């Protein structure tokens, strides 16, 4: 089955909190938006929204995330008892869970790219969007959205502008994958990693994530709305900042930006 069968989403799911309640929709604007509405109306932690296609999927900074049928598009509602700074670590929880799951399940050469992408063969196979709802520094809920380009061929299903930078599981593996199995494996892995975070073992998450971070030790360019830096990617520090050694020799921490590898 290359499409999702709603009946079997919960079958055999071994999670502590995730997926006790699952909303499955054929088509939705954005699973994160729906998740935020559910959370605001008191949905329990671990509630999942999954859709076959999103009409207004989003990335960071309101950028469009294309979500054709055949992909795995879902969001999970979390209610961590932690401040905003710690909740920001969830992006590494999700990134590590996705990288590890794709590696274990399909043996793909997976990489994480700061801050929120997962790549295969240098191309984006997954996007992650975490959105936090706060009142005066207190986190009410976080919605973690995960989008995996699974059963479609990017050249056919995504705009031409994304052809060089995107890939899909079907393109990399040469066959379709079972979406329910992938969904279950991902939820179980995110559930485990979230346990580590809640259990104050963030270091193991960050270290795990960095093992997949192929850009570390490479020459990169980082740009954000105001600046552009280039240099050697030295580290991602405890606060999640990218640490660069600029061409001037100065060390620079960057908190927000988009990274690309520098080619000579």
CB-based burial label for 178 (10 Å; 0-12, 13-18, 19+): middle
Alpha helices in 110-178 (DSSP H): 154-157, 169-173
Question: Contact 154/167 with Cβ under 8 angstroms?
Answer: yes
Q: How far is the CB of 113 from ligand ADP (least distance, A)?
A: 8
Q: Is 119 helix (H, G, I), strand (E, B) or coil?
A: strand
**Taking CB positions, which residue lies at the least distance from ligand ADP?**
59
Is 228 a binding residue for ligand ADP by CB under 6 A? The answer is: no
Helices (H) and strands (E) in the chain, counts: 7, 12
Q: Which C-beta is closer to ligand ADP: that of 21 or that of 53?
A: 53
Task: Find all residues with CB under 8 Å of 136, minimum gap 6, and list them.
Answer: none
Would you state the structure tokens that stand for residue 196, as one six-digit string?
């580590």
φ/ψ of 7, rounded to 5, equals -65, -35
Question: Contact 21/44 with Cβ under 8 angstroms?
Answer: yes
- The residue from 80, 95, 127, 231 that contacts ligand ADP (CB under 6 A) is 127
User: Which one, of 187, 178, 166, lies nearest residue 67 by Cα?
Assistant: 166
Is 65 a binding residue for ligand ADP by CB under 6 A? The answer is: yes
Q: Which C-beta is closer to ligand ADP: that of 17 or that of 171?
A: 171
Is 86 a binding residue for ligand ADP by CB under 6 A? The answer is: no
- The residue from 15, 75, 112, 116 that contacts ligand ADP (CB under 6 A) is 116
Q: What is the DSSP letter of 217?
A: T
Is the preceding peptide bond at 115 cis, omega within 30 degrees of 0?
Answer: yes
Would you state the structure tokens that stand for residue 103, as one six-digit string?
């590696």
Q: How far is the CB of 230 from ligand ADP (least distance, A)?
A: 17
Q: How far is the CB of 170 from ligand ADP (least distance, A)?
A: 13
Stretch of 20-28, 59-67, 94-102, 245-253 contacting ligand ADP, by CB under 6 A: 59-67
| Contact string (CB under 6 A) for ligand ADP, positions 162-201, x = contact | x---x-----------------------------------
Q: Which C-beta is closer to ligand ADP: that of 61 or that of 136?
A: 61
- The residue from 36, 89, 124, 193 that contacts ligand ADP (CB under 6 A) is 124
φ/ψ of 101, rounded to 5, equals -65, -45
Is 114 a binding residue for ligand ADP by CB under 6 A? The answer is: no
- The residue from 158, 186, 187, 244 that contacts ligand ADP (CB under 6 A) is 158
Is 152 a binding residue for ligand ADP by CB under 6 A? The answer is: no
- The residue from 75, 149, 151, 189 that contacts ligand ADP (CB under 6 A) is 149
- The residue from 8, 24, 60, 103 that contacts ligand ADP (CB under 6 A) is 60
Question: Contact 164/260 with Cβ under 8 angstroms?
Answer: no
Q: How far is the CB of 3 from ligand ADP (least distance, A)?
A: 17
Pairing assessment for the beta strands 242-246 and 123-135 based on DSSP bridges:
unpaired
Catalog residues that contact ligand ADP under the rule CB under 6 A. 59-61, 63-66, 116-117, 124, 127, 149, 158, 162, 166, 258
């Amino acid at each position: 089955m290359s499409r999702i069968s709603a009946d079997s989403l919960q079958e055999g799911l071994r999670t502590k909190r995730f997926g006790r309640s699952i909303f499955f929709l054929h088509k939705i604007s954005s699973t994160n938006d729906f998740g935020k509405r559910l959370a605001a109306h008191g949905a329990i932690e671990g509630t999942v929204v999954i859709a076959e296609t999103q009409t207004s999927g989003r990335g960071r900074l309101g950028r469009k995330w294309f979500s054709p049928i055949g992909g795995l598009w879902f969001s999970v509602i979390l209610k961590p008892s932690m401040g905003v700074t710690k909740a920001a670590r969830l992006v590494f929880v999700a990134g590590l869970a996705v990288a590890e799951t794709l590696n274990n399940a399909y043996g793909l050469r997976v990489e994480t790219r700061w801050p929120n992408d997962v790549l295969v063969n240098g191309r984006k196979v997954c996007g992650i969007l975490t959105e936090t709802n706060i009142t005066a520094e207190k986190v009410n809920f976080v919605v973690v959205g995960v989008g995996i380009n699974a059963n479609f061929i990017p050249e056919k299903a995504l705009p031409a502008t994304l052809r060089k930078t995107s890939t899909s599981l079907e393109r990399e593996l040469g066959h379709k994958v079972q979406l329910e199995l992938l969904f279950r494996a991902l939820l179980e892995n995110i559930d485990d990693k979230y346990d580590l975070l809640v259990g104050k073992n963030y270091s193991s998450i960050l270290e795990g994530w960095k093992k997949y971070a192929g850009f570390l030790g490479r020459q990169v360019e980082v740009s954000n709305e105001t600046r552009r830096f280039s240099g050697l990617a030295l580290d991602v520090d405890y606060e999640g900042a990218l640490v660069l050694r600029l061409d001037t020799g100065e060390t620079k921490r960057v908190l927000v930006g988009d990274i690309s590898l520098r080619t000579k």
